[in-house]
Amino acid sequence: MLQAGIVAYLLQSHRFRAANKYKKTIDNLLAWIIKGNQKAKKQATQLPQGIMMSQSIFLKSMFSTCATIAMLPTVLSPLAVAQTATTDEVVETTKMETVTITSSRIKRSVASTPSPITSITPEVFSDRGYSTASDLLNDLTALAPQLNQADGSGDASGSGQQYPDIFGLGAGRTLTLVNNRRFVTTSSGLGESQVDANIIPTGLIKRVDVVQAGGAAVYGSDAIAGVVNYILKDDYDGLELDLQYGDTEQGNYEQTSYRLTAGKNFDDNRGNIAINIEGSTSPIARFSDFDASNRSRITLANPLDTGPNDGIPSVAEILPAYFWNFNGNGVVYNTPAPLTFFQTNIDGSPIQFGSDGGLTSYDPGNVVGIPFAEGGQGTRYSDLVGLRTGVDRITANLIGHYDIASNIRLNGEFLYSKTDAESIGQGYVRSVLNQADPFYGAIPFFATNAFLTDENVADLSAANPAFGFGAPMWLSRHFYDDLAPSNLTKNETNTARLMLGLEGDFDAGDRNFYWEISGSYAEVSGSEKAWGVDFAKFNKAINAVDDGTGTAVCSVNADSDSTNDDASCVALNPFGAGNISSAASQYVSVMTGNTYENEQMGLLATIGTQIIDLPAGPIDAVLAYEHRHEHARYTPLEANLLGLVDTGTPQEATSGSYGTNEFSIETLVPIVSPEMSIPGIHALELDGTYRYVENSIAGKESVWSAGLRWEILDGITARATKSRNFRAPSLEQLFAPTSVALSSIGNDPCDSDNINAGPNPALRRANCEAEWAANPQYANLDTFQDYSENFTYASITSGGNAELQNEVSDTTTYGIVFDNFLVSGLSLSVDRIEIDLEDGLSAFTTEDFMAACYDSVGQTADVCSAFTRLQASTDSTIQAGSVISGRTTTFNAGQVVFRGEVYYANYSFDLTDIAKSLSGEFSFGVEATHVSDYSTSVTGTTFVSTDGTVDQPDWSARIDAGYVNGPFRATYKMSYLDSVLAEEGATIENNPNHLISSNYTHDLSAAYELQNGLTVRAGVKNMFDEAPSYPSLSYGDILGRRYFVGLNYMF
C-alpha cells in the first residue's frame, strides 16, 4: 500500500484539477497492475464522461501502453526464469555501469556519447553562492546570459523569467528537459516553448547536462542549439537546511535564499520519497543605484562630422542625457511645437510648474537635438525604467519511487512553483513632441482651469495674450509615480506539473529488455499587470473648472449639457509634481495587462534491448513513442479589450492548440572493441537516430542524427555527429491576433545617426540616397531624424501567420577528448560546432523590413513596400521621410550560420603527490567558447554577422580553481569576455565607442564544516569591482563587488 500512498499524495494536489478528475481510474489501474484485480482492470479502462477528446485519447494511450508493458514480465516469465541462472552476474554488472544519459535514450556509460556535453554537479550552488539554476547556467560560456536587465535603450528590464539560450541562437531554440522529459512552457501567453530556470528545484539537482548543438532526433522540436537537461535526485535520504544572504558593497542589492530538502528510504529501500521547498528574493535595481548605469548615455548626430571618411564619428555621446521637452512638474508651451516655442516668463527663460503649483523658471539644458539635451531639468533618460527586475520565487517539489516488483518501479514527480516579478515602468508621458498622437500629445489647458491661481493666469496671459481670451496653452509632462497607484509592472507565474511513470526490465529469449512509460499533465497560469490611464476619463478630469463655490469639478458636470455628465469624475490637478489627489488617481487609473494559461499533456513510452551480437559486442536499440498536446490561452484585461488604454486600439483574446505524435528509433553499433586489439582503434562505435513527427498544425517532419566515437588509444577519443533538427512554430507565431497600434519603429537605416552603419555602410547610404533623390520633398538626408524612432507615431499592423512551417537546421560536430592520457587526473576536450539553419521562423518587424530593404543589393519590392514614409509634413517637429506605417509578422525566411568551438580542460591532483608535507586536493578547470561566425538573415538574402560584437564575443572563457582539505574548501572563478566591436560594422566613422574592451571578473569563496553536518560559507563576487566594459551595461557585471554568507545544516 505504500506505493499507492505515494500516488495518492501526488494526486491530491489542489493544483491538478484535471489529474484529480482521473484519480479513481488511476487507482483502479494500479490495483490491476499490483494485485491482478480483474474488476479493477475493467474499471481502469472506463474513463469519466464529458472529457475532451484529446484528453480521452491521451489517457487511454497512457493506460493501455502502461498496462501492456507491465504485463510483459508475467507473460514472458518462463523465459525470464530460464535466463536468471545464467545472466544474473552479467545483468548486475550492466546495471551498475550503464544509465540513460542526455542526448540518448540508450543505456550506456556517460563517457560513451559522441555529442559534446557539459555536466555540472550541485556543489557549484553552495561554492559560488548561487540560489537558482539560472545563476548556474549564466556561468557557462556557451550560453548567452539571461539577466532581466535593461540595456539603457528605454526598454523595460524583463518579466523576471530566465530562459537558457545556447550559443545565443534564441531561447526558443534551446530545449529544456527535466529527467529526460519535456516540460510545459512558462512563457507568457502564446509564447515560445521556453522554461524558466528559476522554477527548477536546486536542492534536488543531481546534475545539469547541457548538450551543445542538436538533439531533436532524440527529444523532438526546439533542440536546435542544444538541450538543457536537469537530472533530479531519486534517492535522497536525509534532511538539509540551507540559508544564504548577500548584498553589494553599497548595500543596495540585498538577496536572500532558503532551501529545505528532506527525503527518506523506506520498506527496506524499495521506495524513496523526497520533498524540496525553496525560495529566493532579489530586489528591483534602478539605474541610479550603480555608477556604471547612472550615466544616462545616448548618441545623436555629430555636428562636427564632415563625411564618411574623415575619422570623425557621425554620432556623438550625450552625457547625461535628458528629455528637454518634458519633466515631472510640467513644462509650459504656447503651442505644441519644438524648443523655439517655449513659453517664456518675464526674465526670458522657459517656465515650468513647481510642486507648489506656482510657475518657476525651467532649465532645458544644452539642447543637442530632438528630443535630447545635455543636462538640464528635464526627465533623465535613464530614469524612464528600472535596471533590473525584482524576483520573488518559491518552489515546492515532491519526488518518489517504489519498486513494485524486483523489475518494475513506479515513480512520480510533482512540482508547484510561484514566481512574482516587479519591474519599473515608464509611467505616462504627455509630450509636446507627440502632438500627432491624441493619447500621448501635450495636455491643453485653459485660463478657466480651477487649479490655476490668479497669479498663474496673469503671468501666462502676459506672456501669451491669447491665453487670457480663451486660447489654450500646453503642458508637456511625465507622470512618473503620482498619477497611478503604482508605477510597477507585475508579472506572476504559477506552474504545476504531475508526472507518473513505470519503468523496468524483463528477459525474453536471450535478451534483456528495459522499458519506460510515463504520463504527465502540467499547467501554467500567469499574468502581467500594470496600472494604466483611461484616456477618456483622463481628458475629462484634467479639464477642471470652479463650480462657483471654490471647488474644482470636471467641466462635463458643470456645463449646460447634461448628457455628458459623469457623476464619478474627479477633477485632476496636473500642475506640478505631487498635486494629484488620491481620488483623482483612482478615477483615471485602470488595471491593464493580460492573463495567460499554458497546458501540456504528454505521454512517453520507450523500450530498448540488445538486438544482434557483433564481434565487438551487441547492437543496442531503443524504440520510442511520444504524444503531446499543447494548449495556450491569452486574455487581455477588460481595459485592453475595450481599447481604453495604450493606443486606444482594442485587443483580442486568443487561444490555440496542437497535438503531436512522434516515433523514433535509436541504435548503437559497436564496430571495434578493446578486446579485438586492433592497432590505432582501441574502440569504435556508431550510433544513429531517426524521428518521425506529425504535428496537427505544422505538418510532418523527419529528422535524424548519426554519431561516431573512435577511441584511438585508451584515453584518446575522437568523436563526431551529423544531425538534422527542427523547431515547430509557436502558438503565438501561428495565432497572434491582427492588431493595429501606434508605435515607434526602432532604427531607421536612413536616419543620419544610422546611415553610415550596417553590414555595408556604402550600400546602405547609396540605397537611401536613391530613394531621397526620387522623393525630393523629403528632409535633408544628411541631417534627417526619423521622428518615429523615438515616438509612437507610426501605425504598425501585427499578427500571426497560420501558414508557418517548421524551421530546420543541419548540424555537424567533431572533436577530440583526452582523458587521463599520460597525465593522471587531466582531461581535455575540444569540439567544433557547425549549425546551418534555414526556413527560420523570423519575426519581421518594421525595423527588419527597413534593414532588409536598404542593406540589400537589388531591393525587393515586397520588402520595401512593407513600410511607408511621410511625403510632406505640416508639423515642424516631424520631418518628411519619417516612417508613418509598417507591419510585423513571422515568416519562414530566416537563416542562421553558426561556427564555433567549445574547449574544456580539467586537472585535479593530491598535493601530497608534490610534497609529503602538503595536504589536500587541488583542482583546476578552464572552459572556453570561440565563435568564428555567427551570421543571421531575417529575410534570407542579407546577412548580418554579429560574431566579434558585444552580442556574440569571439571568445568567452571561465577559469575555476578549487582546494579541499578536510573540513575546509575554497573556490576561485575568473570570467573573461574578449574585446569586441560595439555592433556589426562599427568603426570610428559611425561610433565614438566602436571598440569595447575585454572584461574580467573574479569571485572567491570558502566553506568550513564546523561540526558534523553544519557548514558555514562566505564569498565575494566581482572582488575587484570590475564594471561592464564601457559603454555597455551588460558586458560584464553591473552589480559590482558584493558579498554573501551562508549556512548549511545536514541532519
What tens digit of pLDDT does each residue of 477-495 get? 999 888 999 999 999 999 9
Under a CB-based contact definition with an 8 Å cutoff, are residues 266 and 273 in contact? Answer: yes
Given the C-alpha cell 542549439, which residue does it identify?
225
Q: Which of 71, 93, 115 finishes a domain?
A: 93
Strand partners, 502: 410, 517
Residue 104 carries which side chain, given as an amino acid letter?
S
Q: What per-residue confidence (pLDDT) applies to 843?
A: 78
Under a CB-based contact definition with an 8 Å cutoff, are residues 505 and 407 in contact? Answer: yes
Q: What per-residue confidence (pLDDT) applies to 627?
A: 98
Rounded to two decimals, the pTM is 0.84
Length of the chain: 1051
Q: What per-residue confidence (pLDDT) applies to 6?
A: 34
- pLDDT, one tens digit per residue, over 643-691 is 998 777 888 898 889 999 999 999 999 999 999 999 999 999 999 999 9
Residue 788 lies in a domain: no
CA nearest neighbour of 571 among 445, 406, 429: 445
Q: How far does CA 202 lie from the centroid of its chain?
A: 19
Buried b (16+ CB within 10 A) or exposed e, 563-573: eeeeeebbbbb
Under a CB-based contact definition with an 8 Å cutoff, are residues 129 and 1005 in contact? Answer: yes
Given the C-alpha cell 544628411, which residue does it identify?
782
Across 179-269, where does the E strand assignment appear?
181-182, 205-212, 226-232, 238-248, 255-266
Residue 201 in 3-state DSSP? coil
Q: Which residue range forms the structural domain that includes residue 58?
A: 2-93
Measured CA distances, 997 to 143, 145, 930, 1027, 1031 (Å): 21, 18, 17, 11, 10
CA nearest neighbour of 835 among 804, 806, 808, 815: 808
Under a CB-based contact definition with an 8 Å cutoff, are residues 59 and 22 in contact? Answer: yes
Residue 450 lies in a domain: yes
Residue 510 carries which side chain, given as an amino acid letter?
D
Cell of 817: 577528448
Residue 299 lies in a domain: yes
Angle separating helix axes 77-97 and 53-75, nearest 10 degrees: 100
- Number of domains comprising the chain: 2
Given the C-alpha cell 544482434, which residue does it identify?
612
Who's near 957: CB < 8 A, 6+ residues apart?
141, 926, 927, 928, 929, 975, 976
Angle separating helix axes 23-35 and 2-11, nearest 10 degrees: 160
Q: What per-residue confidence (pLDDT) applies to 621?
A: 97
Residue 558 lies in a domain: no
Residue 827 lies in a domain: no
Residue 304 lies in a domain: yes
794-798 and 883-910 beta bridge pairing: parallel
Given the C-alpha cell 509611467, which residue does it identify?
427
CA nearest neighbour of 978 among 994, 995, 960: 995
Q: Which of 464, 479, 494 finishes a domain?
A: 479
Q: Write out residues in the chain with pLDDT < 50, as ranges.
A: 1-97, 339, 341
Residue 90 in 3-state DSSP? helix
Measured CA distances, 947 to 801, 896, 899, 980, 1032 (Å): 30, 12, 9, 9, 16
Q: What per-residue confidence (pLDDT) applies to 858?
A: 76
Q: What per-residue confidence (pLDDT) applies to 601?
A: 97
Cα–Cα dist 553/985, whole Å: 58
Q: What per-residue confidence (pLDDT) applies to 109?
A: 63
Residue 555 lies in a domain: no
1031 preceded by cis ω (within 30°)?
yes
